[in-house]
Structure 1
Amino acid sequence: MTTRLKTQTALATLSLVLGGAASAQELTMLVGNNVDTVAAAEALTEAYTERNPDVTFNIEIRPGGSEGDNIIKTRLATGEMADIFQYNSGSLLQALRPSRTLMPINDIKNFDAMNESFIATVSDDEGNAFGVPIQPAMGGGILYHMPTYEELGLEVPLTWDQFMENNAAIAEATDKAPIIQTYRDSWTSQITFLADFYNVQQDSPGFAEAFTANEAKFATDPAALRGFERIQDMHESGYMNEDFGAATLDDGLAMVASGEGVHYPMLTFAIGAIQQNSPDQLQDVGFFALPGDDAGANGLTVWMPAAFYIPRGSEHPEIAKDFLNFVATPEGCDAITERVGAAGPYLVEGCTLPDDVPPSVSDMLPYFEEEGRTYPALEFLSPVKGPALEQLTVEVGSGIREAQSAAERYDADVAKQARQLGLPNW
């Protein structure tokens, strides 16, 4: 089921009243029901209509989850898709068979303004790209308590060894938990493992493709195994909060905001929760990428935003492409920021963030400003992610299982999923 929402500026209404109805074009748009997604779509369509009064939009809202996925796939298959629709980037997009169902947008004027890492997640094997990002990116790394760093004279670590040295200094000089873990919300146990993928890519280029083709394994690729080993390192160090097994996400965020704990491996979406729950301490929380083993190859694993796409059957393909071109401009970014704020860097060149963004947001910017310092998370490059991962990372982080054993179990877990997906060579 979808609902419809008319988006039309006063300027467009005036155009119709004055007799522009004959030349007016109305495009349909289908977006997910997330509040921020709907608000961003409204902001962008209103801004575009203000510049193009003869174009208006009819926004439909679909449910999320599997029901929303089925609506997308059904409407593409039956040729009843809206002129523009919003959907995931990355491996989930490939399930739509974009080469057959979507319109390439490589020729839009602002194509080269989009971040290369993002383009890779909305492209097919032949280099045809299909989407433009409609929200900021999200990073995976370490939220940290800045006043503690200042008090102890610590520097942001560029390597895992430096990170563990900082933890040792914190443990020696304070009664704070150097590392926060929150295994009651078991999904949070995966963050260290998932956020390490930039480092995997640096040490084992092409791992995602080889992994998807069943030609690489976590248990036998030393770079990939390090994700599990880092979790084991954290447990064996004794630097984790004592209640790591019972603590929740909210507990972890409160700890890093207050300084009760100093390092919390987390995705940057959580900055919004800190802003809501601990607004007076938001300026005390910074962010850095999960360190690897080489200071010269330090970078950020990125969770890519959803994108706008155009189906091949769009009734207004040229206007739809022009709209996507507008989304990929600083004006488009500004429209989103003004309506919903910005919780991370935009993936369009020239887009800026307000001066008053939290430190944890501005800390992400340098990674995006230097080519080669960001890379998509594995889930955006491969459809294979075993359901047992969070169970295994909890076991490693609790000292129940060693990293090598967890990697072997995970390889077996993903093999089952790959066969269920019908992937070749499994």
Structure 2
Amino acid sequence: MMKKMLSVALILLLFLAGCGGSGENIESSGSSDSDKIKLSIWHNFAGDDFRAAEVREMIEKFEEEHPNIQIDEQAIPVDGYRQRVSTVAAADELPDVFLTYAGSFTDELQKSDLVQPITPLFEENPEWKDSFLEGALDPYDYDGELYSAPVAMSSTSFLYYNKELFEENNLEVPETWDEFIETIDFFNEQGITPLAMGNKAPWVAQSTTFGVIADRVTGTEWFMDAVNQDGASFTDPVFIDALSHFKELVDHNAYPEGANSLDNTQAEQYFAQGEAAMMVNGSWTISSLSVSVSEDVLENIGITTLPAIEGGEGEGNTITGGPGGGYLLNSKAEGATKDAALELIYHLSNEEAQKAIAESNSMVMYDLELDENAVNPLFYEAYNLVRDANFAPVYDIHLTSAGGEAVNNGLQEIMLGGDIEKIAENIQRAQSSNK
């Protein structure tokens, strides 16, 4: 127990997944509530977007199809989900099934023996397993045992832009960092906010913007060495340079005043309403805007990758992301509860589920023939953009909880005028203390 409490206290992370489908049926006759298998599930699909509604509907369908199973479902808002799971994990009181995220979040849960493999699901459904895209299952593979199946693709750093604002001002979408800064300066001169951002939950700046900037400057290899504290430090000049590029955006007034007090949804609406010319955000924005704005607004939004940074060690055409979240099975689940939980996980992760999620305008890492007419134009454009781009690591997927928190807090400090060298020292101290 002490091992679990100490390890799980380090857990952190967020980012985006969902789904539906169906697995093998557990036979039962009508029974009273006291005879039912009680199964708890937590996820963060609490919003009004298509994906969230689809996930909740599929859980409801599962319960209807399994009258012998009583589902206790908790849909927890994204910004508070990570902390809720960390809190109950520290007390070893996790639900039977719960949404997780690839990387350090799942790593800590697995190391702490709080979850168990779902390998039998893949052995029983080999076609399902083989249909995941290359590398999709890797983050959930621990010594040959698979603990989850991604129900999303994490794409966190698209550059969205307002087509009309660019056309009206005879501007091309920037392809280099210098052009990006010039574009920011131009929109400021016109009284238009250059970049929308809502960093109230401090993961936003890190996940959507800084990670991809840093990868362009440092390259992925340096970052992974720094994560592992293997010959690289977050006080190295190359990382200071990465922080300086983010500070350059702040110094050029790229963001709206009070961006650290706005949440991500407010920033999305600020951009959609034409108050900002651009926004760096994840694929989840496509899903949320699909249900909150008109078709005309969607058609006016363009999408591309962040500009390359000349002289950087990393590639230019990259998007931070990779396999998204999936569902984990509590290590304490056994017997009929375990069987029901496995069936529910399959129901939320199989091919039917992956297709439903994709058609709710949300990215998946599953081999699907996507019907252009089944999704909105913005999603289809993003879908094809991802297919031609490479992935760079999302910082807080790989950093320790302490390291990720130090980056998040440090970026907020930079937005308030903080000293980047002191912030780098704090990040290095936090990451090295857990290695």
Aligned to 2:380: 362
Aligned-residue offset at 1:137: 3.4
Q: 1:119 aligns with which of 137, 152, 157?
A: 137
- CA deviation vs aligned residue, 1:328-356 (integer Å, no higher than 9, x gap): 54422234467xx33x2112111637636
Q: 1:260 aligns with which of 252, 271, 275?
A: 275
Distance 1:208 1:359, change over 3 A: farther
Answer yes or no: is the 8 Å Cα contact 2:188–2:194 preserved in 1: yes
Aligned to 1:94: 107
- CA deviation vs aligned residue, 1:217-264 (integer Å, no higher than 9, x gap): 222061x44441222221333555567677665664344223332122
Aligned-residue offset at 1:32: 0.9
The amino acid that maps onto 1:301 is T
Q: Which sections of structure 1, spanning at least 5 residues, go unmatched?
A: 1-6
Q: 1:43 aligns with which of 58, 61, 65?
A: 58
Aligned-residue offset at 1:91: 1.0
Q: Secondary structure at the match of 1:95?
A: helix
Matches within 5 A, 1:345-360: 345-350=363-368, 352=370, 355=373, 357-360=375-378
Aligned to 2:72: 60
Aligned to 2:166: 149
Whole-angstrom distance in 2 between the partners of 1:376 and 1:115: 17
Q: Structure 1-normalised TM-score?
A: 0.70
Q: 2:147 aligns with which of 126, 130, 141?
A: 130
Answer yes or no: is the 8 Å Cα contact 2:357–2:364 preserved in 1: no
Whole-angstrom distance in 1 between the partners of 2:309 and 2:213: 11
The amino acid that maps onto 1:60 is D
Answer yes or no: is the 8 Å Cα contact 2:54–2:356 preserved in 1: no
Q: Which sections of structure 2, spanning at least 5 residues, go unmatched?
A: 1-19, 47-51
Answer yes or no: is the 8 Å Cα contact 1:118–1:347 preserved in 2: yes
Whole-angstrom distance in 1 between the partners of 2:105 and 2:379: 27
Q: Does 1:331 align with 2:352?
A: yes
Aligned to 1:237: 252
Aligned-residue offset at 1:152: 4.3
Distance 1:111 1:161, change over 3 A: farther
Answer yes or no: is the 8 Å Cα contact 2:216–2:315 preserved in 1: no
Q: Structure 2-normalised TM-score?
A: 0.69
Answer yes or no: is the 8 Å Cα contact 1:186–1:391 preserved in 2: yes
Q: Secondary structure at the match of 1:301?
A: strand
The amino acid that maps onto 1:94 is D
Aligned-residue offset at 1:47: 6.9
Whole-angstrom distance in 2 between the partners of 1:94 and 1:225: 28
Q: Secondary structure at the match of 1:97?
A: helix
Aligned-residue offset at 1:164: 2.8
When the two chains are superposed, the root-mean-square deviation of aligned CA atoms in Å is 4.6
Whole-angstrom distance in 1 between the partners of 2:291 and 2:56: 23
- CA deviation vs aligned residue, 1:155-210 (integer Å, no higher than 9, x gap): 544442343344355567x4423334556776654442134355367x24162354
The amino acid that maps onto 2:367 is E
Distance 1:94 1:181, change over 3 A: closer
Aligned to 1:4: none
Matches within 5 A, 1:12-411: 29-32=39-42, 34-36=44-46, 40=55, 43=58, 46=61, 57-61=69-73, 64=81, 66-69=83-86, 71=88, 82=96, 85-97=98-110, 101-103=115-117, 105=119, 107=123, 108-109=125-126, 110-124=128-142, 126=143, 128-135=145-152, 137-152=154-169, 154-168=171-185, 170=187, 174-181=190-197, 188-190=204-206, 191-196=208-213, 198-199=215-216, 203-205=219-221, 207-208=223-224, 210-213=226-229, 215-220=231-236, 222=238, 224-241=239-256, 249=264, 252-271=267-286, 274-275=289-290, 278-279=293-294, 281-293=297-309, 297-302=316-321, 305-310=324-329, 314-315=334-335, 327-336=348-357, 341-342=360-361, 344-350=362-368, 352=370, 355=373, 357-370=375-388, 373-384=390-401, 385-398=403-416, 400-411=417-428
Aligned residues: 388
Distance 1:59 1:221, change over 3 A: farther
Larger Rg belongs to: 1
